[in-house]
């Protein structure tokens, strides 16, 4: 397993939200498209902002703690059909329980209690980027077509990927769009 930290949250041009996980002892980053509500909840947790009334993730933690349990770690365990899967490891008086979860919910809980976040190595191999890979993508795109036509094509591909819920693909396309736009600035 690879320990990661949250490297940032993002919003795509098609208004899809996401989280970027970066390995602590390396340079790979893993973008995961998530829901808007979960992105807002993660942002609140990162900033340690307490809403006047508990939101779902705060309520969940209150329930867990009232049962004398605590979250030990969360792990992004799999990537199947462009969907990420996670497990929350919950320490209870009876031992450790594994709870199936969406990565976004697991991360939203983890940031509230400063719990370690891990990603299985196989998931990192499938979905993460290294700086070298990002540079290769940039260079091949710069040689193959004009930035304006490439940007238009990428925006179409991003919209299609989001509509088809191909979130891993959407995150990669979104990254390419951002790189192209920053070059044109």
Domain parsing of the chain, residue ranges: 2-127, 131-184
Q: Bridge-partner residues for 75, per DSSP?
A: 87, 118
| CA angle centred on 158, ends 108 and 153, rounded to 5° | 155
Alpha-carbon distance of 9 to 41, in angstroms, equals 11
How much is the average pLDDT of 33-37?
Answer: 91
pLDDT > 60? residue 3: yes
Higher pLDDT, 153 or 98: 98
pLDDT tens readout for residues 41-52: 999 999 998 889
Query: What pLDDT sits at residue 157?
Result: 83
2-127 belongs to CATH 3.40.50.720: no
Query: What pLDDT sits at residue 16?
Result: 81
Q: How confident is the model at residue 146 (pLDDT cuts 50, 70, 90)?
A: low
Contacts of residue 128, defined as CB under 8 A and 6 or more positions apart, other chains included, come to: 23, 28, 29, 30, 119
Contacts of residue 157, defined as CB under 8 A and 6 or more positions apart, other chains included, come to: 173
Residue 90 host element (H or E) = strand 83-92
155: helix, strand or coil: helix
pLDDT > 60? residue 37: yes
pTM across the whole model: 0.72
């Amino acid at each position: 397993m690879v320990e990661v930290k949250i490297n940032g949250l993002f919003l795509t041009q098609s208004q899809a939200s996401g989280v970027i996980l970066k390995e602590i002892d390396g340079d790979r980053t893993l973008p995961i498209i998530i829901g808007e509500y979960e992105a807002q909840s993660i942002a609140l947790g990162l900033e340690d902002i307490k809403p006047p009334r508990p939101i779902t993730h705060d309520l969940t933690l209150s329930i867990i703690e009232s049962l004398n349990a605590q979250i030990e770690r969360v792990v992004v365990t799999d990537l199947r059909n462009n969907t990420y899967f996670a497990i929350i490891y919950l320490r209870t008086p009876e031992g450790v329980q594994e709870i199936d979860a969406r990565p976004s919910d697991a991360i939203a809980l983890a940031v509230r209690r400063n719990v370690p976040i891990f990603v299985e190595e196989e998931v990192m191999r499938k979905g993460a980027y290294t700086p070298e890979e990002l540079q290769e993508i940039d260079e091949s795109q710069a040689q193959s077509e004009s930035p304006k036509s490439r940007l238009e094509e990428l925006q179409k591909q991003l919209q299609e990927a989001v509509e088809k819920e191909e979130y891993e693909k959407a995150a990669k396309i979104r990254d390419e769009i951002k790189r192209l736009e920053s070059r044109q600035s």
